[in-house]
């Protein structure tokens, strides 16, 4: 519901990246909400500070568009650029292991 209302009247942090590589353009939008909106979740994890949604759009040159959403919880403060860098660093490590 918050996303449908474009996070209207909510406290949030947002950051977007666009990368082009290997014949495709990938856009990632990071939206970070403080846990004041999900108090029941905060009670389960000590130190939890933010809920993150990453919307990923990948356009292949002359081809298809794929879209996906991923969700994360974090002990980092509500700072979308900081969280975006942490998520990308995690996936770089993960991808290098395979």
Residue 62 dihedral angles phi and psi, to the nearest 5°: 65, 20
Q: What is the pLDDT of residue 40?
A: 67
Query: Over the stretch 36-71, which tens digit does the pLDDT of each residue have?
Result: 766 666 667 778 888 899 999 999 888 899 999 999
Q: What is the pLDDT of residue 66?
A: 93
CA distance linking residue 66 with residue 89, whole number of Å: 22
* DSSP one-letter string for 23-62: TEEEEEEEEEEEGGG-HHHHTTSTT--EEEEEEEEEEETT
Say yes or no to pLDDT of 95 above 80. Answer: no
Residue 45 dihedral angles phi and psi, to the nearest 5°: -130, 115
Domain assignments of the chain as residue spans, ordered by start = 13-96
Give the predicted TM-score (pTM) of the model: 0.72
């Amino acid at each position: 519901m918050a996303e449908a209302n474009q996070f209207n009247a909510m406290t949030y942090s947002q950051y977007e990246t666009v990368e082009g590589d290997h014949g495709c353009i990938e856009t990632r939008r990071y939206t970070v909400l403080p846990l004041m909106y999900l108090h029941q979740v905060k009670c389960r994890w000590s130190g939890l500070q933010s809920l993150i949604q990453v919307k990923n759009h990948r356009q292949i040159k002359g081809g298809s568009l794929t879209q996906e959403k991923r969700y994360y919880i974090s002990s980092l403060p509500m700072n979308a650029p900081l969280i975006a860098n942490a998520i990308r660093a995690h996936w770089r490590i993960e991808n290098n292991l395979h």
